[in-house]
Amino acid sequence: MAIKAAVLRIGAAALVALASVAVTTSPAQAQDTTYFDSFEDNPDDRWSWSTWYDGNTGYDLQRGLARTGANNGWLTAETGGASFNRYVEFPRSAGQCAGEVYVKPSTNDTVMTLDVWALDPNDAGGYDWRLRNSSRHQLNAGEYQAIGFGTTPTVYGGTVRLQYWITLNGGGAGNFKMARVDDFFVRCWW
């Protein structure tokens, strides 16, 4: 009986020791970094744009049309398209990033495409922009709606450099589309 009690005490001590090792060697708390842009101040300082065919872009500055704050962007197209492009840089490597933007379409069946490009090392020792995530969203007219860029894994260590594209696709001849955009948000974690 004394041997059995000694074995139980040793077993209990081993479990306590194992539990304390498990607690002290657990992974570090996840960290994250966020970025938010609501088109305030001078949006041209941070946003680039592209248009093709009859696409157009612009800003509503202090017109009372923003979701939050005073300003928002807008995109229009019928047979072409228009995009806003935002470059975001995080000073350290992140495991994954996700983002969203609020869109207010003026007509039903408005198609928005959200793309994420990452600056990745290439075989020549330089860097190339590579598409990391693309999502298509069909929206109906109404209030501002949150649409997500999806989760984008980062490919290598070092600074994370991403481009977020918000694109309005025209509806075709006679099918004019317009959408307001506001409150762009990105969160990266590691």
pLDDT in tens, 50-61: 999 999 999 999
Cβ partners under 8 Å of residue 28, min gap 6: none
Greater confidence (59 vs 156) lies with 59
Average pLDDT over residues 87-105: 84
In a domain, 5, yes or no: no
Contact criterion met (CB below 8 Å) for 76 and 177: yes
In a domain, 165, yes or no: yes
Number of domains observed in the structure of the chain: 1
69: domain range?
A: 32-189
**DSSP SS3 for 9:** helix
Reading the block at residue 182, the tokens are 């506001």
Round the average pLDDT of the chain to a whole number and report it.
Answer: 81
In a domain, 82, yes or no: yes
Reading the block at residue 116, the tokens are 């994420």
Provide the b/e sequence for 5-35 (b: ≥16 CB within 10 Å).
Answer: eeeeeeeeeeeeeeeeeeeeeeeeeeeebeb
d(CA 151, CA 97): 6
Torsions phi, psi for 16 (to 5 deg):
-65, -45
Per-residue pLDDT at 157: 59
